[in-house]
Structure formats: C-alpha cells, structure tokens
Amino acid sequence: MTTILLVRHGETDWNKQQVFRGRIDVPLNSVGLEQARATGEALSNYKIDAIYSSPLSRAMETANAIGSTHPCISIKEAEGFIDIDFGKWQGMPHDRVKEEHKELYNKWQREPHNVKMPDGESLDEVKLRSMGALNDILARHENEIVAIASHRVVNKVILCAVLGLTNQHFWCIKQDTCAINIFDNSERGFIVSVINDTCHIKALADSANRVDF
C-alpha cells in the first residue's frame, strides 16, 4: 500500500490579492514561507521515501520545507503537477475576470467541468496529466510514503478522481494554502483519510474565508 501526502503550496502575494496565478511563477511570501516550514514540521514524523513537486517556485519552496525534515531525500520535479494553465486569465485580478469575462466566469462557477480556459486548459486536461503523474509515482513507489507539493486546482482534481467523483464536483472540495491531504492506494482502491487539514498553520494565517476561484 502506497501512502500519498498531497500538499498545496503556501501563501503568495497573488493568493492574498486574489489574482489568478496559473503558470506564472509567483514565489511564496513571508507568511507562505512560514506556512511551508510549519507543514514540514507537521509531516516530520512520517517516514517519507520520496518528495515530488510542481516545477513552479511556490510549490518547490513548499516541497523544500518538507524535505528539510528529511535531508536524505532530493526533491523531484514533476511537470504533471504544475498548476492549471489559466490562459488569458493569468495575472488578472479575480474581480476583473468576473467583469471582463462574465459569461465564461459564470460558467466556470456553475459548470467547471465544461470550461476550457481561453488559450489555456480544461479540468479534464489537468486530470489527464496529473493522474498520469500520480500513477507513475504509484508504480515506482509501491508500499512507500510519498509527499507531493502542488496547487489548488490540481489537488482538487486529483482528490475528485481518487474519491470517484467527476470534475463536476470540483467546487465541493476545498484546498487552503498548505493544506495536507492523505490517501492510500490499496488493493481495494484509493482510501482517503484526510482532506484540507490546516491545523498546523492556524496560528499563521486563516485563509478559510477567502474566495475559492
């Protein structure tokens, strides 16, 4: 049985300002770095065998914080876990997207599974590559514990998949900054035990009331 510790990266200024990130490489801010360190401490008791990360710096910084408590493990970049390509929405504030792309934005809120971002990706495309990367890890690390640092959209898509849900249920799952999710891959399939655990960062920042967009 393989155990996956799926983590969202820490806070960035663009998270705080509610700006669409996507493939733009925005680093962690000071709060995000503290959140990442706290996440590393929270996972320090796990005997982690491998750590994978999206290549974007906000995820890599989070993965490095996890790796700091497991110094014998090198971080491996996995392109399949990179953030969704938001296309033309990348770098735009949430409120501006709502105003300038009203019809598509409303569809994104109601039917996320039926939306392809302008010059970007759909959730199905995210699922194809992220689950492909996850399946590669499961094949490579049988009966091991693996940590993965990724992004809100990617994590939500992966969690829908392992729960047996379609991307129609995308908004049913929350992913706050530095959230920890834990699931096992067993003979009976995926068993999810933890979703969106942020107890380890409550003293640093509470993002619970921020808009999920």
Query: pLDDT, tens digit, for every residue of 162-180?
Result: 999 999 999 999 999 999 9
The CATH number for 129's domain is: 3.40.50.1240
Q: Identify the domain containing residue 58 by its residue range.
A: 6-86+122-201
- pLDDT (0 to 100) of residue 85: 98
In a domain, 148, yes or no: yes
Residue 206: predicted pLDDT: 56
pLDDT at 72: 86
Average pLDDT over residues 118-124: 97
In-domain check, residue 208? no
- Give the pLDDT band of residue 203 (cuts 50, 70, 90): confident
Rounded to 10°, the helix 152-162/123-140 angle is 70
Q: What is the 3-state secondary structure (H, E, C) of the chain?
A: CEEEEEEECCCEHHHHHCECCCCCCCCECHHHHHHHHHHHHHCCCCCCCEEEECCCHHHHHHHHHHHCCCCCCCEEECHHHCCCCCHHHCCCEHHHHHHHCHHHHHHHHHCHHHCECCCCCEHHHHHHHHHHHHHHHHHHCCCCEEEEEECHHHHHHHHHHHCCCCHHHHHHCCCCCCCEEEEEEECCEEEEEEEEECHHHCCCCCCCCCCCC
Average pLDDT, the chain: 95
Asked whether residue 57 is assigned to any structural domain, the reply reads yes
**Inside any domain, residue 62:** yes
Question: Is 95 among the domain residues?
Answer: no
- pLDDT of amino acid 208: 46
Give me the pLDDT at residue 75, please: 97
Say how many domains are in the chain: 1
- What pTM was estimated for this model as a whole? 0.96
For residue 126, tell me if it sits in a domain: yes
Structural domain contains residue 114 = no
pLDDT digits (tens, 9 = 90+) for 129-142: 999 999 999 999 99
The mean pLDDT of 87-115, rounded to a whole number, is 97
Name the band, by pLDDT with cuts 50, 70 and 90, for residue 185.
very high
Is position 210 within any domain? no
